[in-house]
Every structure is written in C-alpha cells, then in structure tokens.
C-alpha cells in the first residue's frame, strides 16, 4: 500500500509539471493543430463583434473585423506551416506550364474592402474547412481595378497555405490555349476563374464550363468566379450554364472612394514598414493616377526609393523622386 501511494504521488507531480510546461509553451500546443482547428478558433472571433483583426502569422490570416484597428495577440500562434510537397510541386508545375503566377502581395490582409466588406467576408468563408456548397460558389463582378483578381488570388494563396490544391485561371490570358485547360480541374479543392466575360458567347467554352461546373459540384469542390458584368448581363448563350451561374452567391464589387483609397494605401504601406501620413497620401491621390493598381505600383517605387535614400515619405521627397 505504501508503494502504491508513492507511485500515485509521483504520477501527480509529473502530470502537474507537464501541465505547467504546456502552459508556459503555448506555441507547442498550437504546433499540433490542423488548419481546420486554426480556422475554427478564428471563426469564433467573428461572433464576439470585436473591433480588431486577428492575425495568424503562420497562415497569413486576418479575421474578425473589416476595420484595421490593430493586432489581437490573443490568437497569435507560431504553428509551423506544413504543406504536402507533392501537392505544392504539382501546383507549381501546372502554374509554370500555364505561365500563371500568383502575386505574393495578393492576400486577404493586404485587401482593404471599403464597400466590399460582404464580398471579402464570404470569400474568406469559402476558404474555411466546413463551407457548404451554397457558400462554395461565388461570383464577383465589377469594373477593372475593384479588387476582383486580388480576392481570387488571395483565396488561392490561402488554400496553398492550408496545404490544399488550388488553381487560378485568368481566362482572358489563357483562352488561346483552348478549352482543354478546364479538363480535370475537379482534382483541385478550389478553382478560380477570372475574366469570365472573355469566353462568354463561345459555344465550346460555354459547354466546357457547364460540364466543369457539374464536376466541381458533384465532387464537392469550390468555385470562385470573377467577371466584368453580372451573370444576367453576361452574353452567355447556353441556357444551362446561365442557370448554373445564377445559383452562385453574387456580389457587385464597388470602387473605393478617395478616403478608402487613402486607407488602402496606408494599409499597404504599413505592411511594407512605411509610414504614410494623411497629408502625403492625399498629395499622391491628387497628383497621381486614380486606379488602385497604379497607386500600388507607385507605392512600390516609393518604397524602393525610400530604402535606397534612407529617407521617410514626405512631400519634398515625393516631388524629388517623382518629378512632381
């Protein structure tokens, strides 16, 4: 009996020490979490109504609110990212064969939604592990420069970070390759089709898209579509394809206001380690081009010039660098 009591006491001491060790090292607890657990924890943050964004630096994930008000370190993890090499290699090979590259800066964190907060939220929801079919078919439409391509590529990058195969196809660039590029896409967990208007009205493309739609639905895959016009205005001749497109969650992407453009520039600048004041930002907006793609390219140019000159972004520096 004496020996049994001693063994029980030793077991309690060991168990207690292990518990304290885990409490001191939360990163090791997170190291065992799968992507689904990570996403589940972040979804709970939506329900709190918190006014901050939560960042998972291992996944490059932002959640919880549209407003960019800071970093909530309560959900910060150091979980290592694990991507099956065979999936990553396969995607790289396919992308290389098609000549398509995803922009490294096309992430959800870098996207300032403005009036497009609902679209951003549903696209992020599409990337979650338990998204159903009704949430797994999204159609984004709007003019050039409203962020359609950014969200499609951000979704692909999110899937890659989760170790899931995804493919991005800009149809306007790839239509010369023929409809064969749509074959076997149901092997991907996510298929992103950009510039759908480029192939609308072409009988062979419409038929191939209709069959792809059905294969993705039957296999439980996810489809994210972007076009310049709404499904009703799209000149699709195949009635069956038209009806399939109307089943999607449809979002019209709105251009950013001048104030939103300023905030988007400041968000992108902060991600680069730059401080962009309101005064300098307004100066850029009044002197430079209005499209967001051009504004971001200008910011990249200023970032490089600022780094080389070791100077801050000021109006005199902008005038000197840009010749304004």
Q: What angle do CA 194, 198, 204 make, to 5 degrees?
A: 105
What digits encode the pLDDT tens for the residues 109-146?
999 999 999 999 999 999 987 776 567 899 999 998 89
Q: In terms of pLDDT, which residue wins out, 101 or 300?
A: 300
- Count CB atoms within 10 A of the CB of residue 198: 18
What pLDDT score was predicted for residue 27? 34
Q: Cβ neighbours of residue 237 under 8 Å, at least 6 residues apart? A: 201, 203, 206
CATH assignment of 85-252? 3.40.50.300
| Tokens 């991600």, located at residue | 271
Contacts of residues 96-100 at CB distance under 8 Å and 24 or more positions apart, as own/partner, are: 98/169, 98/174, 98/177, 98/181, 99/173, 100/168, 100/169, 100/170, 100/173, 100/174
Query: Quick one: 145 exposed, middle or buried, by C-beta within 10 A (0-12, 13-18, 19+)?
Result: middle
Above pLDDT 90, what percent of the chain? 57
Any idea what DSSP says for residue 79? P
What pLDDT score was predicted for residue 32? 31
What pLDDT score was predicted for residue 99? 63
pLDDT beyond 80 at 7: no
Listed by start position, the domains of the chain span 2-75, 85-252, 258-322
What pLDDT score was predicted for residue 163? 93
What pLDDT score was predicted for residue 105? 84
Phi, psi for residue 50 in degrees, rounded to 5:
-65, 150
Between the two ends of the chain, the Cα-to-Cα distance in Å is: 89
Q: In terms of pLDDT, which residue wins out, 154 or 130?
A: 154
195 in Cβ contact with 162 (< 8 Å) = no
Query: Quick one: 104 exposed, middle or buried, by C-beta within 10 A (0-12, 13-18, 19+)?
Result: exposed
Per DSSP bridges, beta strands 166-170 and 190-194 are parallel
State the Cα–Cα distance between residues 310 and 281, nearest whole angstrom: 19
H or E element that contains 302 = helix 292-309
**Range picked from 56-65, 159-168, 196-205 for highest mean pLDDT:** 196-205
What pLDDT score was predicted for residue 46? 36
Closest alpha carbon to 37 in 92, 79, 99? 79
- Kindly report the average pLDDT of the chain as a whole number: 75
């Amino acid at each position: 009996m004496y020996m049994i009591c001693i063994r029980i006491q030793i077991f309690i001491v060991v168990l207690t020490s292990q518990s304290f060790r885990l409490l001191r090292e939360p990163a090791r607890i997170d190291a065992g979490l799968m992507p689904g657990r990570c996403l589940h924890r972040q979804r709970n943050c939506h329900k709190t109504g918190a006014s901050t964004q939560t960042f998972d630096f291992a996944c490059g994930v932002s959640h919880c609110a549209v407003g960019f008000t800071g970093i909530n370190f309560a959900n910060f993890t150091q979980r290592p990212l694990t991507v099956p090499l065979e999936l990553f290699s396969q995607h790289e090979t396919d992308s290389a064969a098609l000549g398509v590259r995803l922009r490294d800066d096309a992430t959800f964190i870098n996207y300032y939604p403005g009036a497009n907060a609902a679209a951003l939220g549903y696209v992020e929801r599409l990337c979650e592990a338990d998204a159903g079919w009704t949430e797994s078919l999204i159609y984004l439409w709007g003019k050039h420069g409203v962020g359609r391509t950014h969200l499609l590529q951000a979704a692909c990058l999110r899937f890659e970070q989760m170790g899931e195969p995804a493919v991005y196809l800009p149809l306007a660039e790839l239509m010369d390759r023929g409809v064969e590029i749509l074959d076997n896409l149901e092997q991907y967990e996510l298929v992103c089709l950009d510039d759908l208007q480029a192939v609308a009205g072409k009988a062979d493309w419409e038929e191939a898209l209709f069959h792809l739609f059905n294969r993705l639905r039957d296999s439980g895959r996810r489809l994210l579509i972007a076009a310049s016009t709404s499904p009703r205005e799209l000149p699709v001749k195949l009635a069956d394809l038209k009806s399939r497109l109307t089943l999607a969650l449809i979002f019209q992407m709105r251009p950013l206001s001048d104030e939103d453009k300023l905030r988007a520039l400041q968000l992108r600048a902060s991600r680069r380690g730059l401080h962009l004041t309101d005064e300098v930002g307004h100066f850029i907006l009044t002197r430079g081009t209005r499209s967001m793609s051009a504004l971001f390219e200008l910011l990249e140019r200023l970032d490089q010039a600022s780094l080389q000159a070791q100077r801050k972004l000021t109006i005199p520096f902008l005038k000197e660098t840009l010749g304004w």
